[in-house]
Structure 1
Amino acid sequence: MSINCIRTLIEDANVSHPEKIAIKFNEKEINYKDLLKKVNQIAFYLSELNLPKGSRIGIYSTKSIEQVIAILGILSTDYVLVPLTRLLKPEQVEYIIKDCDIKCIITDRLKLESIEEINFDGQIISYETTHKDIASFEEIFKYYNKPYSCTINGHDNAVITYSFGLTGTPKGIVISHRNLIDSARVVSSYLDLKEDDVISGTLIFNLDYGLNQIFCSLYKRATLALHRFILAGDFFNHLINDEVTVVPLMPINISSMFDEDEHKLPSADLLAKVRVLTSSGGNVTHKMLNDLDKYFPDAKFYSMHGLTEAFRSTYLEPSQIWIRPDSIGKPIPDVELYVLNEEGKECKPREIGELIHRGGYIYKGYWNAPVETSERFKSIQILKDVINLEGQLTDEIVVATGDYVYKDEEGYFYFVSRHDDMIKTRGFRVSPFEIESVVAKNFPMVEQCAIFSIANEEIEEEIVMVYSARSEIASKEIVFELKKHLASYMIPNKIIYKKSLPLVPSDKSKINKEELKQELLKDN
């Protein structure tokens, strides 16, 4: 078996730290010995399904210890994990199932009803015993006790995560086993994670940043303390009661943490065990930094910038947070970053260009999407005017990120904008096209619809819907219908009616979103 896979971490932890708590969630906990046993039982059962090698298995459930066991169980087979965030609606799940041909779904009692709404004829496994025709973890743990061993290659596909591509439909990014363990190694290194750390498992496990919580815990033989972030008070109780030392967050989590009256927040003394805070997935505002500094004065805060096509590009050293809070930092270990202008030349300091990522942590490409893959994954020839390619192999792949940035005189990078019009809100990337498509399908009375975003410090960007129709539709009615088809983070924050929408002068088939945005900002 390859040393470049997460499976080796589970086996090694069982040898070196069998009795140590691996995962805890509220009153439940499991040590490394029992974790390996249960992972093996699930992996053994999955292997007995006799699905073709590389078959995709989805996980569509709420957070639990069983969910982590399911993730590690799939990664202990030659199948491929497809995380399906519980925020997705059944029709969105159905799209992903069809797109990557999911053969089996692991779920819980709460989400089983949603799956039953979907036309899915594959295997279903539930954590709890629910129906005689559906296998459950409870039954597997009771009856599957045979030895299990596996062979995994580091270059094999391990995970397909879904985000929104240039066309507006979800595109799966393919991640190898080597990618997963490399990401655990590098994060554990630059965050200086330790064996006695308790890492907060607050982020959902739908994308690489969330999954990395699990893998870093395994890599360092640390403890993962799971938590479902719903209320700020419960989150702080989680940090205190679980004695958390490392807290991965997104900006939306940070703003939600401090959305309570000050007298309801704990004192800094109660949070003193936290020594590392991290954030990725959006901008961190000065208010967020001030709040973190007030309640976690001794914790080091790392701001990080990742990509859809590569695990991570940059991080900002904690010592630089107050010196250059708007910077996304410098390259992480084993990564080279370049800023190119339209002629392919390297930009001068403070000249804006496209960020090119070279080196480690690059994923394999988009699933069944050659056009999207070719737009982002480029030959190293793109850097021919920047680096010396003499004597080098020229089939190396780099990522043309679509992020427009600049670099200052000291080598720190600053994010400016995205090449496409993706909306980033609450840590998610949202395609205006998908929302517009749902409106077109479910509101035949709407003549024109434009979805765009405006800045909002609390959630980075808020979604705006402007539409035209013969008569105005009640906003509550629009929201009610959209909630049936879209995840909660995709619902517009503002809905505006206009008798007609402006068109782009050079293309009368396109709505002039920029004009609409400027009108809105002017009115505000």
Structure 2
Amino acid sequence: MIALDPVPQRIDRLPSCGRADDIALLDKAGAMTFAELEVAVASAAAWLAGQGFAPGDRVATWLPKTRLACTMPLAVARAGLVHVPINPALRRAQVAHILADSGASLLVSQSSRAATLETGDVPPGCRLIDESNVPLAGYSYPGDDGDAGALAAILYTSGSTGLPKGVMLSHVNLWLGAVAVADYLRLTPKDRVLAVLPLSFDYGQNQLFSTWRAGACVAPLDYLAARDVVKAVERTGATTLAGVPPLWVQLLEADWPPEIAGRMKRLTNSGGALTPRLVQALRARFPAADLYAMYGLTEAFRSTYLAPALIDTHPDAMGTAIPFAEVMAVRADGARAAPGEPGELVHAGPLVAQGYWRDPERSAARFRPAPDFAASGGMAVWSGDTVIEGADGLFRFVGREDEMMKSAGNRISPAEIEAAVLAGEEAREAVAVGVPDPRLGQAIVVVLAGDPAREPELRARLRTELPSFMQPQRYDWRPALPRNANGKLDRAAIRAEVTA
């Protein structure tokens, strides 16, 4: 296991964390050693430094998981610029918003993607170039040892609740996030991490950083179907896979040869809770893998994780704070919530981001001083999520305040309804929504994917498991539920459709 060194550095120093001749990246082009990764970072940084940008200018990338896409987060930082990765699943209108909002001076993309943009999508002050113009060899650029607290990246949220907003991340944020995850996942130089999540997603980007911090190898993959992931695990010898619940559902439906599934050492989940049934299914399919349940938010990267030894006995828990994070449940009056008492999850410490880019109003609402009782000073992220810290020291998710339902005078968490629905085998996925009702205030509607012929069975089961005020009034069966660009269930779109 790596040393948990709390001293942050500039994120572009990551290539030096691995042995020069060990493999850092394994992709369609072959294997890239840490020495070759350093050359690629230095060459791309040298090219960027020669483009006449001012320090702190923004450089956007809109790419699939090419070798350049994996290198640019470090190269842009080394050149003293700010990286703005754009999810390749986004379309021209969202890309145009991100370019305009970030004030990007450069967009690096591919001709096929650039051809989808229309006049005016690329702002006047932004140049558009093809990725083939950025060299990955032949140049040297050491960079400097500047301020580790300087802005290094702006990550835009998926925009499921409106236009995407940019979260400002410093070198400190990114470096300590890499150190923390590499430590609690116990990554070693022998590990190979299959990176299937978007690199524009904090969870996906950290897979690069935490893997390289551990001196291990990343195998980036753009996949179309679950069978592509199975083949990639076999081809790359992957030991580690990160996902979100909808991805696990798809992967469990795929055909996994036992010898390939048995090779996995580590599965990590964020972006939604794992149901007990999903935990059991993953355990059965990947018997040798440790399963890590994690909770995070882009504004502070990652807040908690549940140790694999606890997931079978505490499947409802979010776990405890990750290294460098101070996490607490806070009452409405600002005091610490007592054990078992609901409170807002507040995250303090050096992983807290610098706010929202050019959005002081929303920054002031989400980034506020840490509670008086907190050990960490400075700004904290007030998440808007309601949690309970148990007497066992484990946090448990209750729900988001803006998603809580109120039916017949009772406040109800959608997560509790969804967990009950998914406890059986009638549905694969479910989202609970409160819709206006003249009699109840809100009626509970569940949008779900599964076999509609099993609805009578589901209703009968829930009548024995939920009180009357928590019984769904209607079920809306779909072949599949919509997802946002990061692969998460698009709850905002589902809620908007159901309540329209």
Is TM more than 0.5 here? yes
Cα displacement (A) at 1:226: 1.2
Alpha-carbon contact 1:61-1:110 (below 8 Å) kept: no
CA distance in 1: counterparts of 2:364 and 2:486, whole angstroms = 29
1:326 and 2:316 are equivalent in the alignment? yes
- 290, 300, 303: which is aligned to 1:313? 303
What's the CA shift for 1:182? 0.3
Partner of 2:393: 411
Matched residue of 2:56: which SS? coil
Residue ranges of structure 2 left out of the alignment (5+ in a row): 1-6, 405-416, 423-427, 437-481
Is the 8 Å Cα contact of residues 87 and 485 (structure 2) preserved in structure 1? no
Residues 63 and 88 in structure 2, CA contact (< 8 A), matched pair in contact too: yes
- What's the counterpart of residue 82 of structure 2? 80
- Residues 190-242 of structure 1, C-alpha deviation per residue, up to 9 Å, x if partnerless? 11110111111111111211111111121111111111232111111111221
Choose the corresponding residue for 1:147, options 136, 140, 147. 140
> Partner amino acid for 1:18?
A
Which of 217, 227, 231 aligns to 1:223? It is 217
**Does the CA contact (< 8 Å) of 2:201 and 2:486 recur in 1?**
no
CA distance in 1, matches of 2:495, 2:356: 32
Looking at structure 2, the residues matched to 164 and 421 of structure 1 have their Cα atoms a distance apart, in angstroms, of 18
On the 8 A contact 2:349/2:377 being kept in 1, the answer is no
Query: Structure 1 residue 349: deviation in Å?
Result: 2.1
Correspondence 1:259 to 2:249: no
1:401 aligns with 2:383: yes
* Counterpart check, 1:272 vs 2:262: yes
Residue 81 of structure 1: how far off its partner (Å): 0.5
Percent of aligned pairs with the same amino acid: 27
Report the AA paired with residue 12 of structure 2.
R
1:462 Cα deviation from its structure 2 partner: 7.9
TM-score (norm 1): 0.75
Partner residue, 2:123 = 120
* Cα shift readout 1:60-99 (whole Å, capped 9, x = no counterpart): 0111222112232212211101111011111111111111
1:172 aligns with 2:166: yes
Q: Is the 8 A contact 1:165 1:372 kept in 2?
A: no
Name the CA shift for 1:397/1:278 in 2 (closer, same or farther; >3 Å): same
**Partners of 1:115 and 1:80 in 2: CA distance:** 23
1:171-250 equivalence runs, <5 A: 171-250=165-244
- The answer as to whether partners of 2:252 and 2:282 remain within 8 angstroms in 1 is no
Distance 1:198 1:94, change over 3 A: same
The reply on whether 1:292 has 2:296 as its aligned counterpart is: no
Structure 1 window deviating more from structure 2 (227-236 vs 203-212): it is 227-236
Return the alpha-carbon distance in structure 1 between the equivalents of residues 13 and 29 of structure 2.
28
Contact kept in structure 2, 1:70 and 1:106, CA below 8 Å: no
Asked if 1 retains the 8 angstrom alpha-carbon contact of 2:24 and 2:216, the reply is: yes
1:3-14 → structure 2 map (5 Å cutoff): 4-13=9-18
Say if 1:9 and 1:219, in contact at 8 Å, map to a contact too. yes
Equivalences, count: 425
**1:342–1:273: structure 2 CA closer, same or farther, 3 Å change rule?**
same
Q: Is the CA contact 2:325–2:349 (under 8 Å) kept in the aligned structure 1?
A: yes
**Structure-2 residue corresponding to 1:302:** 292
Counterpart CA distance in 1 for 2:315 and 2:143 is 46
- State the one-letter code of the partner of 1:416: V
Distance in 2 (alpha carbons) for counterparts of 1:206 and 1:404 = 27
Distance 1:465 1:104 in 2: 44
Structure 1 SS opposite 2:317: coil
Deviant stretches of 4+, over 3 Å: 164-167, 454-466, 485-497
Residues in 2 aligned to 1:487 and 1:231: alpha-carbon distance in whole angstroms? 15
Structure 2 CA distance, aligned partners of 1:410 and 1:189?
A: 23
1:464, 1:84 → 2: CA distance?
33
Cα offset, 1:34, TM superposition: 2.0
**Offset of residue 326 of structure 1:** 1.0
Q: Which one-letter code corresponds to 1:71 in the other structure? A: P
Contact 2:290 2:308 in 1 (8 A): yes
Decide whether aligned partners of structure 1 residues 292 and 37 sit closer, same or farther in structure 2, where only a CA change above 3 A counts: same
* 1:395-450 superposed Cα distances (whole Å, 9 cap, x missing partner): 6222211110111111111111112349xxxxxxxxxxxxxxxxxxxxxxxxxxxx
Conserved 8 A contact 1:171-1:367: yes
Normalised TM-score (structure 2): 0.78
Q: Which amino acid aligns with 1:99?
A: D
More off after superposition, 359-368 vs 344-353: 344-353
Tell me if the contact between 2:99 and 2:122 (Cα under 8 Å) persists in the aligned partners: no
- Identify if the C-alpha distance between structure 1 residues 328 and 204 changes in structure 2 by more than 3 Å, giving closer, same or farther: same
CA distance in 1, matches of 2:8, 2:303: 24
**Aligned equivalent of 1:55:** 57
1:377–1:397 contact (8 Å) kept in structure 2: yes
Q: In structure 1, how many angstroms separate the alpha carbons of the residues matched to 2:264 and 2:205?
A: 20
Q: Tell me which amino acid in the other structure corresponds to 1:242.
A: T
Task: Name the CA distance, whole Å, in 2 between partners of 1:175 and 1:219.
Answer: 18
SS at match of 2:105: strand
Instruction: Quickly say closer, same or farther: Cα 1:66–1:486, change in 2 above 3 A.
Output: closer
| Distance of aligned partners of 1:496 and 1:93 in 2 relative to their CA distance in 1, 3 Å threshold | closer
Residues 359, 398 of structure 1: 8 Å contact kept: yes
Contact persistence 1:92–1:486 (CA under 8 A): no
1:368 corresponds in structure 2 to 358
Q: Per the alignment, in what secondary structure is the counterpart of residue 252 of structure 1?
A: helix
Verify the 8 A CA contact 2:268 2:294 in the aligned structure 1: yes
* 1:426-483 CA-partner distances (Å, limit 9, x unpaired): xxxxxxxxxxxxxxxxxxxxxxxxxxxx9585456389999xxxxxxxxxxxxxxxx9
**1:234-255 Cα shifts (integer Å, max 9, x gaps):** 1111112211111111112111
Q: Measure the CA separation in 1 of the matches of 2:389 and 2:86.
A: 36
Instruction: Name the counterpart of 1:18.
Output: 20
CA RMSD of aligned residues (A): 3.0
- Offset at 1:366? 0.8
Q: Distance in 2 between matches of 1:229 and 1:283?
A: 23
For 1:49 and 1:212, how far apart are their aligned partners in 2? 28
CA contact (8 A) 1:5 1:177 kept: yes
Asked if the contact 2:172/2:350 (under 8 Å) is kept, the reply is no
Residue identity opposite 1:271 in structure 2: A
**Contact 2:8/2:175 (8 A) holds in 1:** no
